[in-house]
Structure 1
Amino acid sequence: MARTIAEIQNEILIEKGKQSSLNGLTDSLSNSKTAIWKLWINIIATAIWVHEKVVEKNALISRPHTLNWYREQALNFHYGMSLDPDSINGMSLIWKDGSYQFDTTDLSEDEIEQAKIIKHCAVSEIDLGTVLKPKKEIEEIFSDYFHNKVGVVFIKVATVKEDKISRIDVPNELFAFKEYIAKIKDAGNQVYITSDQGDNLKLSLNVYIDPLTIYINPKDVEYYQLKSLSRDLNDEEQIKLAAYELALLEEPLDTRNGSLILEKEVFPILDAAKDNLKNIEFNGAFVKTYLVDAVQKATGVKIPILKKVETSWATNPSDDPESLTDVTNIEYFIPNAGYFDMDTLQVEVNYIPYTFYRDKQ
């Protein structure tokens, strides 16, 4: 930020005081506000101030358009405002201080906030070095350059509906946003914009719980234990499991399983898993260890084991959420849409009473 004229004058006066040869400028006459040497200080200070303001403005105008710049512009998009600088009502996109800005002069704070439909945004690009391989022929490089979309800026965006991250599913909203980016982007840059349905996710856990804290119906314990086994079941176990699953058609598992004994509406394990997913930043990675850590802290949990993780892309609501891919062997991954669809989230928990302490008795 440029210094004020007074600040510049003060620094000149401080420097003058360090020069003994200028001590003669302190007599009664020259100490007047209209003394020639003081007028020259004012002129020089004003000239320096003008210079600093020009440099400051040039720095603002020449600000490099980084990936973060694209993100800031996306989050600042105002839906319903014209891209025509001659539009009426002062709601157009105008060129000001070296950048495009929305003129919101006649809008209230609430109206401005409602117009900003982009609530989450992530911007990335593919580096050329990621697709080049040693000893490749030069003619193959350019083919890879375009085929792998190197030089393309990828923008993922989402809005919020009913306190949940959601894709922008109104066609005109996304169309308007793309037009906005096309107008403000750097010349020659290719920009690829997406707003997809959240990815599907299914988690399977074995959780050893404190039976004095978390409710579990005794008739369901053996079923959970059989389901939790990671090894192949023997013939007797397979028969038992098949019998349980057949019986479940008539009498399902107790719906209270996994709830707190003293607060039957609270399911600490399910709540911990959902909170962990909700707290993942947009386009952030799902990390298996973090999920297990979150469940471990839940009330009544003794030993949480993440048995299986399955996921799939979902680009529209008609996609089959059951067509999942097993990604259990991957420690972390980023959802294609940038987030998970909490409405299609499946969390299956085998609740097993923690009774190991009996071995010590």
Structure 2
Amino acid sequence: MARTLNDIQQSILDKKTEVVELSVLEVLTTNEQNTLSNLTSTSKVAIWRLWVYIVAFAILTLEKLFDIYKIEVDQRIAKNEIHNFLWYRKKALEFQYGHPLVPESDYYDNTGLEISEIVQSKIIKHVAVIRKIINGHGFLELKLAKEVSDELVPLEAPEIEAFKAYMFLVADAGTYIQYVSLPHDDLKIVLDIHYDPLILWQDGSRKDGMDNTPVITAINDFLYTLEFNGELILTKLTDYLQEVEGVKIPKIREAFSKYGSFDYSFIDETYIARAGYMRLDTDNTIINYIPREL
């Protein structure tokens, strides 16, 4: 960004104060070098001050030209940006609910808006872009979720409608997009917890009263920290439970998942949630607490 004229002049004046004699390599005669220390007039119209102004103005003009050139280069780069999965994800996260795009463009004009207003309007917090092929026809699937009280939830119907209109304007012409924003998938498990009786009660609560459900808390934390549309790996969940204080041996006997009104399906080892995120079905999860004396 170009400096101000005053800043440029001041940098020249500061340098003059530092340098009394110039290197012999500079293009100055001996007499000219000797008179350098005599440039002490404080008059604004002193010859040397006028030259400082002229040089500073020339530098300012050059720096402004550099700024213009940078803007032009950035615009060209933006226009030539590859529309890959990362681009679609970025554009989805830039969606501002309730705000119009600049006409004939793919961006917003947020002039006059507070940062908090802009952040609040960007309702989509999680996006996964997936390429699918059905009957030889390829299309993109966008899985979407927002956050309410630190929990992932689906977009509401008006929000989905507005987002579809936004993507119609910004996406590549002819690209078919399927939008998925669903309530969480459910996870139920049958789990044996061999616990340390010095730390946990037989119902799984901590004896110091700090947490009544440390195992369930750990499972929920694990599910929340999974990457959106990431793969649930039961072995990693077991490893995570192993770190819970008081848990000696966690063993997942069975695990099941479901979404929507479908029935539960057995999870062999891995599962990717249809909604992109999961929650533990505590009502149907079975945890057997077994004291371990060793």
Please state which band the TM-score falls in when normalised by the shorter chain: 0.7 to 0.9
Q: Does 1:53 align with 2:67?
A: yes
Where does 1:153-232 land on structure 2 (aligned, <5 Å)?
A: 153-168=140-155, 170-216=156-202
Q: State the AA in 1 paired with 2:108.
A: Q
Question: SS of 1:176's equivalent?
Answer: helix
- Which residue, 252, 264, 267 being the options, matches 1:323? 264
- Which residue, 136, 143, 152 being the options, matches 1:147? 136
Structure 2 length as normaliser, TM-score? 0.73
Aligned to 2:275: 337
Q: Verify the 8 A CA contact 2:223 2:279 in the aligned structure 1.
A: no
Structure 1 length as normaliser, TM-score? 0.61
Q: Tell me the distance in 2 between the aligned counterparts of 1:145 and 1:3.
A: 53
Where does 1:258-269 land on structure 2 (aligned, <5 Å)?
A: 258-263=204-209, 266-269=212-215
> Relative to 1, partners in 2 of residues 1:340 and 1:39: Cα closer, same or farther, differing over 3 Å?
same
Aligned to 2:18: none
Deviation at 1:292, TM superposition (A): 1.8
Deviation at 1:68, TM superposition (A): 3.8
Identical amino acids, percent of aligned pairs: 27
Question: SS of 1:258's equivalent?
Answer: coil
Deviation at 1:266, TM superposition (A): 0.4
Q: Tell me the distance in 1 between the aligned counterparts of 2:86 and 2:283.
A: 31
Q: Tell me the distance in 2 between the aligned counterparts of 1:148 and 1:345.
A: 41
Q: State the AA in 1 paired with 2:48.
A: S
Aligned to 1:94: 102
Question: SS of 1:51's equivalent?
Answer: helix
> Relative to 1, partners in 2 of residues 1:121 and 1:346: Cα closer, same or farther, differing over 3 Å?
farther
Q: Tell me the distance in 2 between the aligned counterparts of 1:213 and 1:112.
A: 47
Q: Verify the 8 A CA contact 1:259 1:266 in the aligned structure 2.
A: yes
Aligned-residue CA RMSD (Å):
3.8
- Which residue, 82, 89, 96 being the options, matches 1:78? 96
Question: SS of 1:77's equivalent?
Answer: coil
Q: Does 1:41 align with 2:55?
A: yes
Q: Tell me the distance in 1 between the aligned counterparts of 2:238 and 2:220.
A: 12
> Relative to 1, partners in 2 of residues 1:33 and 1:68: Cα closer, same or farther, differing over 3 Å?
farther
Matched residues, number: 271
Aligned to 1:120: 126
Larger strand proportion, structure 1 or 2?
2
Q: State the AA in 2 paired with 1:167.
A: P
Q: Which runs of 5+ in 1 are unaligned?
A: 84-92, 127-143, 217-256
Aligned to 1:353: 291
